Structure 1
Amino acid sequence: MWPPRRSGGGDVKHCYARGHRDSGLVSGSSHVRSDMGDIGFKLKVLRRIGIIQPTSPARGLKAAKALRTWGPGFPSGVAATAARFPQQTAIHDDAGDITWGELKADIDRYTQALKDRGVGPGVSVAVLQRNHRYLVMTLVAVMQAGGRLLLLNTMASSSQLTELTKREGAELAVIDSEFLEVAKNIPRESIVLAWADDDAPDDLPTVASISADMPSDPHDKPEKSGQIIIFTSGTTGLPKGARREEPKDLKPLLAYFGAIPYRGNSTVVLAAPLFHSWGLINFGFGLSTAPTYVLRRKFSPEQVLKDIETYRARVLVVVPLMIQRLVDASSEAIEKRDVSSLEITASSGSALAGDLANHFMDLFTDSVYNFYGATETGWVTIASPEDLRAAPGTAGRPPWRTTVKILDENGKELPQGETGVIHVGNDMPFGGYTDGNSKSFADGLMHTGDLGYFDEDGRLFVAGRDDDMIISGGENVFPRELEDALIEHPAISDVVVTGVDDPDWGQALAAYVVVKDGQEIDADGVIAHAREHVARFAVPRKVTFLDELPRNPTGKVMKRELPDPA
């Protein structure tokens, strides 16, 4: 059994709370919500996101037909939005603007082009693209054809790409031209270019060229529905393919938007990469709100702030690394932009370090919603701006129809005040890994791989990965606690902590530190700061300075690429 987490040498008081899917318990409360309360909750969310709103009968019937034909998912989301708001801008990107009506027609042409190239039920299509309209078109068109979407990380190496496409049986690769060198081992006749730069080779077909002469007629639902394969971060090894099943009904959407208050017809700056589950869920669920998406191929704090101001964006979707870069932007870049329209800054993909959320909200708006989950689990908890103000670093509370339990290593539910393995159950189905394996379960709930606890107000805190915990001098120690302490030092811009063998303590912590430009700090300074803020056994025994940490696009540190500690 794991002991309660310690902070600064003193015990932290914990208590346990959960939100039950079936009984209707509200997270962090013993109140049982009635069926009528559930109905009221559903109507409130559906009105806010714009599904229930006045529309012309013809457009409403057309949207309803799309949903009835396809069920919840990308094809119905695009078709329904195009039916209701054909003239509304769907996407602002580096190529310009496109309306929902135009996007739907382009997707239907592209779907036919893919079918003519042999894409059908069960056929795998590798996708290596940045955020832009052609990635959106590929996501929807492959699903309309019934294919398997293999969403590949834009930081994949040539060997990774070769092995993953071979392992998953990809028959077509739709990639941006900048990744041609990475895709050098893929047969050229299997490649279609999505975004083609000016120097792209003329002998390769593009999404635009293969779609140009195709009909824009709507497509029938394939015999077998399409499938989405998202690859895990692969921070310690080759990424695993995780099958994400499209939702069967509106319950996942209601849970998500019940906790993160999107509004219908909002402009959404979607900066998080769409190949990752966080960007993808905001795109897919967002379709139901009839949004306008702002997509950029490369992240730039200055461009994000400009887009929020220009388009009066209500929603910004980011990973924590992007929040850090926005906080670190020059005062001139921040002060010259009016971002008062920003109501939601939805963040996930890696841990929010220390008081980062509050630093962001102090500079911009009180808008940060922290989503804790994983590719396999979907969501576990979601923290509101109020939660993050009251309890910096919290992962939040279980949303509607979500069960979270803290279990020991034997699968037994722990009493209040204990730290253990976080297990979750929700309405986001996980289809298992493509190698046939799946996550482990206990008490009907999925093992997240994380350790955590609830505070007295029902907020979850994540102590760290269960395999990251070390035993130092007989004490259980989590790297996350030291990371949160060090990142608050004014001279430190980035940090990650790992466990190493130690002859005196058995195991100890090693810190990898990036120093802010114009600042100075040495190993003694790092250790002195740690001694002031964490328990003695959590002070690093080794400190290594790097120019930057090897992070993937979602902000997770690629630990296999870290050098041996100094």
Structure 2
Amino acid sequence: MTGSLPSPLAKLRTVGDLVQGVGVLRRRGMFNPLRPDEALKSTRDALKFGPTAGVVMHGVRRHAAAPAIVDERGSVSFGQLDKQSNALGRGLQAAGVKEGDVVAVLARDHRGLVLTMLAAGKIGARLVLMNTGFAKPQFADVSKRENVKAVLHDSEFIDLLSAIPTEIPRVLTWVDEQHELPADSKTIEDLTVGRSTDGIAAPAKPGGMVILTSGTTGTPKGAPRDKVSPLQSAQFLDRVPLPQNETMFMAAPIFHGTGLSQFLLGLSLGNRIVFQRRFNPEATVRGIAESKATALVVVPTMLQRIIDLDPAILAKYDTSSLKVIFAAGSSLSPDLCKRTSEIFGDVLYNLYGSTEVAVATVATPQDLRTAPGTVGKPPVGCRVQLYDADRNKVSTPHTIGTIFVSSGLSFAGYTDGRNKEIVDGMLSSGDVGHFDENGLWFVDGRDDDMIVSGGENVFPLEVENLLADRADVHDAAVVGVDDREFGKRLRAFIVPSPDAKRDEKEIKEYVKNNLARYKVPREVVFLDELPRNATGKLLRKVLVDMDVSTD
């Protein structure tokens, strides 16, 4: 069943959510209640130029000289970002980019990426945030589907651009000395030389932004993020106390929803955002200590690698300034939640959502203490509902169903015209899960990850979490592979700790002693690392197709 016209109850909920959302924003310091004109100006700018430019313009009015971002080349203030992006916008226009054109950016986290985001918004270009983990076929397919007219990219991706037509203009956003550049190369600095840094007239229509899905199989889909609403910030801030006028360390890439949302929120709150172009667990901990960061933004695999550092390395750095670790993008195992608390204290916040549905739930440190592995409860403006296979509502605790979300910020469909399933006006997250008697939500796995083995339904996440809870296991994945007798059989892939015994029989016995017999993997394969994409999502198909006969 698809959505229908809003009911009177739904309209009342919308008004109530807006009132509550405004209260959250005021409490978190997003605007001064004595200066409502400032909030109106910021909203107007975001509607005209897009959220990134709106956030920076807001920062310019409040604290133009304050540092906004820090990368390998140093600090850039709000005022400098604003002026430099004005010049870059004019440079892009001179290079032939028109209002409504689609511009792709393929860059790691640094000033060049931020300036591109700002400039595209100011001239009304539609921006596609490309995944830095793309192979040539994916990059070519997305560029063609989205009708990309120009590409701004780091020098390390020069070879990748051979996959698209040569007539598409390209501009370098960051240059590494070791990369040989084509003779006709242009950088964003070349485009800005001699150009005015004064404000740019607002485009007739905002260009908008496209975030790509994680793309663990096939070509990632494009999810437009064109909505600008105060509720968007309130939904994150309702249960996560991000700092204000302090420092946030951005480990997660901002080409994806997790990093992007927290980057924009962090700037909105006047924070200095510290970037690193490539993730390194020890460098991250060192960066937190050196910058006295109050918040760290990660995807779960990054957090896992930090937690797995040698205790002697962790002890070298003072991370006591850290008050928030914001993790999103995939599930957190109960073991990872507990170990994070032991090392950093009660600072972990786990957001559950997706590119399509935006925010669904948030788990606070208190939630994670009560039920490690939970994804928490819906924040203001979000509603979550379970439906069974016949799409009847599930209202009994500990009963698994498909998760549907209503946040007011869910996307309106992919750029190729497809959409997620909609029931009662709520959008499918693509996951299955359950809730407990305390109203805490849990994700049991992807709907399409379910394995039917010998007539029994198995969700790999349950087995993976059990294995990850072992001290001799650093990472684990479970997939279904074809089996003549059972249809599918379970195969476990384990990244062991250095001193692990790698005893396949003992691993199977451990699962048998803790779960139902049909959930015991028939095979256990030990790997040095699991295949993941640039946002940390597990590439299950790679594991399913892996030839393990010689391992």
Under a length normalisation based on structure 2, what TM-score does the superposition of the two structures give? Answer: 0.92
Q: 2:161 matched to 1:161? A: no
Identity of aligned residues (%): 37
Check the 8 A contact 1:110/1:210 in 2, yes or no. Answer: yes
Q: 2:381 matched to 1:401? A: yes
Shift of 1:537: 1.1
Check the 8 A contact 1:406/1:453 in 2, yes or no. Answer: yes
Secondary structure of 2:282's aligned partner: helix
Amino acid at match of 1:544: V
Secondary structure of 1:432's aligned partner: coil
Amino acid at match of 1:95: R
Whole-angstrom distance in 2 between the partners of 1:550 and 1:310 = 31
Q: 1:392 to 1:456 in 2, by over 3 A?
A: same
Check the 8 A contact 1:63/1:84 in 2, yes or no. Answer: no
How many residues were matched structurally?
533
Q: 2:187 matched to 1:206? A: yes
Match of 2:97 in 1: 119
Q: 2:254 matched to 1:274? A: yes
Check the 8 A contact 1:345/1:367 in 2, yes or no. Answer: yes
Whole-angstrom distance in 1 between the partners of 2:220 and 2:410 = 20
Whole-angstrom distance in 2 between the partners of 1:199 and 1:277 = 31
Shift of 1:441: 0.2
Q: 1:38 to 1:441 in 2, by over 3 A?
A: closer
Cα deviation code 1:498-553 (max 9, x no counterpart): 11233443433111122222433132122122122222111101222222211012
Check the 8 A contact 1:407/1:421 in 2, yes or no. Answer: yes
Selected match of 1:533 from 504, 514, 517 = 514
Mapping 1:26-65, distance limit 5 Å: 39=19, 42-52=22-32, 64-65=40-41
Selected match of 2:113 from 135, 139, 142 = 135
Q: 2:51 matched to 1:73? A: yes
Match of 1:517 in 2: 498
Shift of 1:124: 1.1
Mapping 1:212-361, distance limit 5 Å: 212-247=193-228, 249-361=229-341
Whole-angstrom distance in 2 between the partners of 1:168 and 1:40 = 37
Whole-angstrom distance in 2 between the partners of 1:464 and 1:564 = 25
Check the 8 A contact 1:50/1:290 in 2, yes or no. Answer: no
Q: 2:74 matched to 1:96? A: yes
Q: 1:336 to 1:528 in 2, by over 3 A?
A: same
RCO comparison, higher one (Cα < 8 Å, 6+): 1
Match of 2:414 in 1: 433
Check the 8 A contact 1:21/1:402 in 2, yes or no. Answer: no
Check the 8 A contact 2:433/2:445 in 1, yes or no. Answer: yes
Check the 8 A contact 2:494/2:526 in 1, yes or no. Answer: yes
Selected match of 2:440 from 432, 454, 459 = 459
Whole-angstrom distance in 2 between the partners of 1:266 and 1:122 = 36
Match of 1:488 in 2: 469
Structure 2: runs of 5+ lacking an equivalent: 1-8
Q: 1:134 to 1:53 in 2, by over 3 A?
A: farther
Q: 2:175 matched to 1:196? A: yes
Check the 8 A contact 1:350/1:554 in 2, yes or no. Answer: no
Structure 1: runs of 5+ lacking an equivalent: 1-19, 26-33
Secondary structure of 1:346's aligned partner: strand
Secondary structure of 2:137's aligned partner: helix
Shift of 1:466: 1.3
Q: 1:372 to 1:22 in 2, by over 3 A?
A: farther
Cα deviation code 1:477-517 (max 9, x no counterpart): 11000000111222222211111233443433111122222
Match of 2:5 in 1: none
Shift of 1:23: 6.1
Amino acid at match of 1:67: T
Q: 1:116 to 1:50 in 2, by over 3 A?
A: same
Whole-angstrom distance in 1 between the partners of 2:152 and 2:320 = 38
Match of 1:11 in 2: none
Shift of 1:468: 1.3
Secondary structure of 1:453's aligned partner: strand
Shift of 1:346: 0.6
Check the 8 A contact 1:411/1:443 in 2, yes or no. Answer: no
Whole-angstrom distance in 2 between the partners of 1:516 and 1:468 = 26
Cα deviation code 1:306-359 (max 9, x no counterpart): 221222211111000110111011223211211111111110111112320220
Secondary structure of 1:112's aligned partner: helix
Secondary structure of 1:193's aligned partner: strand
Whole-angstrom distance in 2 between the partners of 1:419 and 1:309 = 42
Selected match of 2:460 from 479, 483, 498 = 479
Amino acid at match of 2:297: V
Check the 8 A contact 1:107/1:140 in 2, yes or no. Answer: yes
Whole-angstrom distance in 2 between the partners of 1:265 and 1:361 = 25
Whole-angstrom distance in 2 between the partners of 1:232 and 1:271 = 19
Under a length normalisation based on structure 1, what TM-score does the superposition of the two structures give? Answer: 0.89
Whole-angstrom distance in 2 between the partners of 1:21 and 1:47 = 25
Whole-angstrom distance in 2 between the partners of 1:106 and 1:325 = 36
Q: 1:269 to 1:22 in 2, by over 3 A?
A: farther
The CA RMSD measured in Å over matched residues stands at 2.3
Amino acid at match of 2:251: A
